[in-house]
Chain A
Amino acid sequence: MAGRSMTFREAINEAIRLEMRRDPTVIIMGEDVAGGARLPHVEGRGEEAWGGVLGVTKGLAKEFGRTRVLDTPISESAFIGAAVAAAATGLRPIAELMFVDFFGVCMDQIFNQGAKLRYMFGGKAKVPMVIRTMVGAGFRAAGQHSGCHYSVFTHMPGLKTVVPSTPYDAKGLLISAIRDDDPVIFFEHKVLYDMEGEVPEGEYAIPLGQADIKREGRDVTVVAIGRMVHFALEAAERLAAGDGVSVEVVDPRTLSPLDEETIISSVKKTHRLVVVDEDNPRCSMATDIVALVTTRAIEYLDGPPQMVTAPHTVVPFSPVLEDYYIPSPEKIIQAVNTALGRV
């Protein structure tokens, strides 16, 4: 079955579906995840309903019923907290926080309850939950629906953070996240939902903490996260075609745990580092990865590391402004040239 193609959205749906078939303790809840499917007032008007605001969970209520696919009120504290204790008492809940920006209304349940519970209990409990959440700019959705913010969660002990960049990775990483015994925040870039890619049938799990080299190269290491992987690949292609520069693109895939070794060994090979991150730049993955490389492998660097990130601003609305905000392949090319000392 080589070559089966599906979208990022379908890959996520398939991962949830397979895990829900395999394990009856897996449930999913969130605002509109069933989207009213199978409620009496829409009886006979089709089974699909919304299935999530962007249709990611479509069809799950039909297959698994409303005991396991739960529309919630717009009460993020209540249902994220419910997921924490449901996990501590025997379920494997997937809670959907519609947009990551909404962490503002439920951070206590994520940070003070979910992330800390195991530690505060002296390791005598586990919290096998997943919070799926949409991230990223590009939808003209402005300041409260467009952030990345995964660095905020990566900062917090007790949480694991996963940022897939391809349909293949999304499926394999989500399966791992659901099976993982710790709380995992799974960040889905909304601009990627329609991206197509090869996705094998059936179950496969990509271990958390294992980076993927998306393109091998000799001259410079570009570490890119989420949607930025694709911009890095485009930049690499153009640099190879134009100037014969050989760029290695490393996709960490999970930020906590972070596969430090793959990043370090790539830099030891190329001696140059560029980090590309759509998140805001202060206290970010970009600064974290630069710190990692400079503290562990500075003697291998032939020049200062470069960072291509969003600016230290809120995500703006106007297309002109938002396009300026998002890192671009052009900016990556420029940063690679700077890293190579060519400008």
Chain B
Amino acid sequence: MAEISRDTLLWIYERMRLIRCFEDKVAELFAQGLLPGFVHLYAGEEAIAVGVCAHLTDRDYITSTHRGHGHCIAKGVDINAMMAELFGKATGACKGKGGSMHIADVSKGMLGANGIVGGGGPLACGSGLTAKVTGSDSVTACFFGDGAAEQGTMHEAMNLAAIWKLPVIFVCENNLYAESTPWFYHCAARDIADRGVAYNMPGILVDGTDVFAVYEAAGEAIARARRGEGPTLIEARAFRYYGHFQGDPLTYRTPEEEEEYRRRDPLDQFRRRVLERNLLTADELDAIDARAREAVEAAVRFAQASPYPAPEECLTDVYVKYP
């Protein structure tokens, strides 16, 4: 914690707050019926995306999940373009063609949210392979959930990354429930991190509500990957405050569980710790909170003022060229 620079601390808090404000606002807009489709919200898991992406630049890649807004924001995707995408507008990150589950910005190294659980593992091997073949020092972080941990693709991907020593880190966001199914039921392993042994890679369990713990574990894993020593599996345990999707009745989990995790809220924890140690001031943090709220409001205004795509836009972007 001591070795994290002030700038990085400010960045971490700013990104975490921006994610929280963004997701809370999306929940509100969704409840008002203003967003088409459905959304999966990341509130409660901010420390994971931000703790990992704090070590990455635009030249590094991430693969994401259906719960991808937090990954996008942590990786620097423009929130105006994100919000416009959720509204299905022409100014959206994907011109309104992807929506919440496919938000992407390859120029920022964000290889897409993904509607297929476990879909990102093989993709992470691909951007890792590009780095290896071209000799770049780019690293890919593959975010996946506890549900995806039981997909064959993740096992294939971790094995492939390990035998080819690809510069990839696998970050399992264990938020305790695969949709409604608790992880103690769906997972045969004691900890998902234990599976690292099977692929001859380190398997690290961290508290996914503690951004300092995630930052430290990810830092080591990413450094290892950049040195060409291959992948690491990190299991970060946290809790999603909203349901699997927004509107989910949440009948499968207990209020006690939620209270327990609310007490360990990643933003509150961060705030408490940096203030206790006089690393940042309350004024600085409050100013970040205010800016984040305003940025999200501005994003909503931008999205609402933006035009819908022309209906014929349905037909473009299938191919680069199709005679």
Query: CA–CA, A70 to B61, complex, Å?
Result: 22
Stretch at the interface among B38-46, B101-109, B261-269: B101-109
- Is A113 part of the contact surface with B, judged by Cβ < 8 Å? yes
Q: Which residues of A contact B102 (CB under 8 A)?
A: 120-121
> Is B112's CB under 8 angstroms from A117's CB?
yes
Specify which of B123, B132, B164 is in contact with A85 (CB 8 Å cutoff).
B123
- Is A302 part of the contact surface with B, judged by Cβ < 8 Å? no
> Is B134's CB under 8 angstroms from A79's CB?
no
> Is B160's CB under 8 angstroms from A75's CB?
yes
Least CB distance, B162 to chain A, in whole angstroms: 10
> Is A121's CB under 8 angstroms from B98's CB?
yes
> Is B98's CB under 8 angstroms from A82's CB?
no
Query: CA–CA, A88 to B115, complex, Å?
Result: 18
> Is B96's CB under 8 angstroms from A122's CB?
yes
> Is B119's CB under 8 angstroms from A108's CB?
yes
> Is B119's CB under 8 angstroms from A85's CB?
no
- Is B320 part of the contact surface with A, judged by Cβ < 8 Å? yes
Specify which of A77, A78, A91 is in contact with B133 (CB 8 Å cutoff).
A91
Query: CA–CA, A112 to B61, complex, Å?
Result: 20
Q: Which residues of A contact B133 (CB under 8 A)?
A: 25, 27, 67-68, 86, 91
Q: Which residues of A contact B121 (CB under 8 A)?
A: 78, 81
> Is B125's CB under 8 angstroms from A81's CB?
yes
CB proximity to A under 8 Å, residues B86-117 = 92-98, 102, 104-107, 111-112, 114-116
Specify which of B96, B97, B122, B321 is in contact with A181 (CB 8 Å cutoff).
B321
CB proximity to A under 8 Å, residues B47-95 = 61, 63, 92-95
Specify which of B129, B134, B159, B318 is in contact with A157 (CB 8 Å cutoff).
B318
> Is B98's CB under 8 angstroms from A120's CB?
yes
Minimum-distance CB pairs A-B, first 9: A81-B122, A85-B126, A123-B317, A122-B95, A78-B156, A122-B94, A75-B156, A85-B123, A181-B320
A–B pairs, 10, beta carbons within 8 Å: A87-B126, A88-B127, A89-B126, A118-B320, A120-B94, A120-B112, A122-B93, A122-B95, A181-B320, A257-B322
User: What 5 additional pairs, Cβ within 8 angstroms, besides A122-B98, A209-B322?
Assistant: A80-B122, A82-B123, A82-B126, A82-B129, A181-B320
